[in-house]
Chains A and B, each alone.
Chain A
Amino acid sequence: MLVFAVKRFGVAVLVALTVSILSFSMMYLSGDPAIALAGEGSSQEDIENVRRVYGFDRPIIVQYGDWLWNALHGNLGHSNYLKSDVASVIFERLPTTMLLGACALGFALVLSIPLGVVAAIRPNSLIDRVALTIAVIGQAMPSFWFALTMILWFSITWRLLPITGTDSWKNFIMPSIALGYYVTPAVMRLTRAGMLEVLSSDYIRTARAKGLRPMTVLFKHALRNAIIPVVSLAAVQFGFMLGGSIVIETIFAINGLGFLAWESILRADLPMMQAIVLVLSVFYIFLTFFADMLNAFLDPRIRVA
């Protein structure tokens, strides 16, 4: 287990480094950063000045090393627009996005895993078809449109839920559903497929031949094995939700990382965008690392060599 964890962690660090290089080069992708910083119509002299002050005249590898060193120490740069430290703004917004992501994932799992299991127990039954319909709708409907429809019904027509802000738990209901529903189809179908495969396996027959109760067979013996691929998928989807909450946070005006990203794009706040990309990517990498560890815990064939 330890060997596996160390190996997997090493890979995670390598991927994180690669992402940091990509994130760093974003600064150069949009042209000469010195010109961008100096602003329109500035003289050649001003540009050279900026270049020297900000250190853009140094070799690129030195600049990267310097940037990485700072990033590792929590210094992600300075926002030219907000005139403040990027890291502090990001970490102020991150908890909101995490909370939203967690609620959305929770909603998705609570809806999709039971539906997937029931659909697998009675394949091609009415409930299987209902589950399939829910999945198809979830896959086909754009989340922004779903969000707007919910606002129209629950906030405007029936006046049950607040539309914007993060004042109470009620504010998180619609965004969580809108964000989570999009993930539901994949998780449900994977659960169903996994359960169908496992339920027809020899060891389930063995479990029944031992006289185990149907619930024990279903949950202890079948779901435990069928859930393994779902764990990986859920971790990846959680990462998508953190990054993909841009649309949802914008619609519901939730002051999270996604909303910040959208604002930064509008403001051309490059250091902020760069830092958000980096933070989300590193987050994503460690989510997959965490999922692998969880998989190893669930599947002894990974854990015990």
Chain B
Amino acid sequence: MSEHILEVNNLAVSIPVPSGMLRPVQNISLHVDRGETLCIVGESGCGKSLTSLAIMDLLPQKAVRTADAIKLAGEELKDARERTMADVRGNRMSMIFQEPMTSLNPAYTVGTQLAEALRRHKPVSANEARDRAIYLLEKVGITAAASRLGQYPHQLSGGLRQRVMIAMALMCGPDLIIADEPTTALDVTIQAQILHLLAELQDEFDMGLILITHDLGVVARIADRVAVMYAGQFVENGTAEQVFGSPAHPYTRGLLDCIPIPGKTSPGERLGAIPGIVPSLVGHMPGCHFASRCPLVSNDCAQQSIPMRDGSGAGHVFRCLLDQKDTEAVSYKGAA
């Protein structure tokens, strides 16, 4: 088996807050291969964005990152100095953010900002950078690409800006792209286009893609593998088929109950809702993070830390004491 493009082991982020230590990201392990799409799903505030920023080493100053391994194409980056990371960012590993309206510098033209990304990392002339920018703008579906180079971000729509951001992420031909909810701020019609675009480009350039989203419909269409995140931890991780076809963790089942499925959800049927709220992540929390909301909770759940385990032996791992068949009965429909 070929080497993973990205391999992360036991990643954690902690942030000191007045009431103690906030642990928004805990025990995250993941890997992505070339040409593979890993979707990280979970509700707002579960730590998806911080996970991606932690991988890029772009966390806020106060946040502390720890990990057993963060390997990019085999190279260990967990203790890399800022200088090394700056050489990696935008070059071998790029990121696309969720706010296209504010993610481009208003003072510089699109062309300047695109060329800058390439010329920082590769010894190319201004003309070569310009040609590459035009090539990629066309790739991301922008017409009259050459004339766009002289335009400023405020002259572009949100959809166009996100396309520019994608082109910018591709400038150096990275091995891995992390897209943090790239379509959240866009119109629904544009959302689908951008996602298709990302999937196409990933195929064409043979990159690894981590897509962070809370849109399960999107995930079902483009994910190779899915990681479900809850309260700072992955609770389930497997192929899209495994996670959607036979969800093992009660939280994953809850998530799936909350969305309508064409052909399965009948008209007038009530969607599910998971009762309760996400627990505070300040301080150390033993046991299952989902215990307070889980309909199958037992005394054991809150006592011990629960490791990810492979229930079937097929790489479908989940963080629950129960087996996949035990959680099948869980339904949240009508719970609220």
Q: Chain A residues with Cβ under 8 A from B105's Cβ?
A: 203, 206-207, 221, 224-225
> Does B25 sit at the interface, judged by CB under 8 A?
no
A201: chain B residues at CB < 8 Å are 102
Is A301 touching B120 in the complex (CB atoms < 8 A)?
A: no
Given known A-B contacts A202-B99, A206-B97, A211 and B106 have beta carbons under 8 A apart: no
Contact A211-B121, Cβ < 8 Å, known A202-B97, A301-B154, A304-B152: yes
> Judging by beta carbons under 8 Å apart, are A211 and B120 in contact?
yes
Bound-state Cα–Cα, A304 to B56, Å: 34
Q: Say whether A203 contacts B102, CB under 8 Å.
A: yes
CA separation between A113 and B157, bound complex, in Å?
34
* Interface majority SS (helix, strand, loop, mixed), chain A: helix
The distance in angstroms between the C-alpha atoms of A298 and B121, with both chains bound, is 27
Sorting the interface of chain A by its residue count into under 10, 10 to 19, 20 to 34 or 35 or more gives 20 to 34
Asked if A208 and B58 sit within 8 Å, CB to CB, the answer is yes
Contact, CB under 8 Å: A210 / B154: no
Task: Please report the number of residue pairs spanning A and B whose Cβ atoms sit closer than 8 angstroms.
Answer: 76
Q: Is the CB of A212 within 8 A of B107?
A: no
Contacts of A202 in B (CB 8 A): 97, 99, 102-103
Task: Report the interface size for chain B: residues with CB under 8 A from the other chain.
Answer: 30
- Stretch in contact with the other chain, from B81-89, B190-198, B304-312: B81-89
Judge whether A208 and B103 touch: CB under 8 Å. Answer: no
A196-216 CB contacts (< 8 Å) to partner B: 201-203, 205-214, 216
Chain B residues lying within 8 Å of A298, measured Cβ to Cβ, are: 107
CB-CB < 8 A to B219: which residues of A?
none
Q: Does B26 contact A (CB under 8 A)?
A: no
> Considering the complex, which residues of chain B in the window 103-137 have a beta carbon less than 8 Å from any beta carbon of chain A?
103-107, 109, 116-117, 120-121
CA distance A209 to B88 in the complex (A): 9
Q: Does any Cβ of B come within 8 Å of A59's Cβ?
A: no
- A:62-95 near B, CB below 8 Å: none
Question: Can you list 9 A-B contacts with CB-CB less than 8 angstroms, sorted by A residue number?
Answer: A206-B103, A210-B116, A211-B85, A211-B89, A212-B116, A216-B120, A224-B105, A225-B107, A300-B154
Beyond A206-B103, A206-B165, A224-B107, 11 additional contacts (C-beta under 8 Å) are: A206-B97, A206-B105, A207-B105, A209-B56, A209-B94, A210-B120, A210-B168, A211-B121, A212-B116, A221-B107, A304-B152
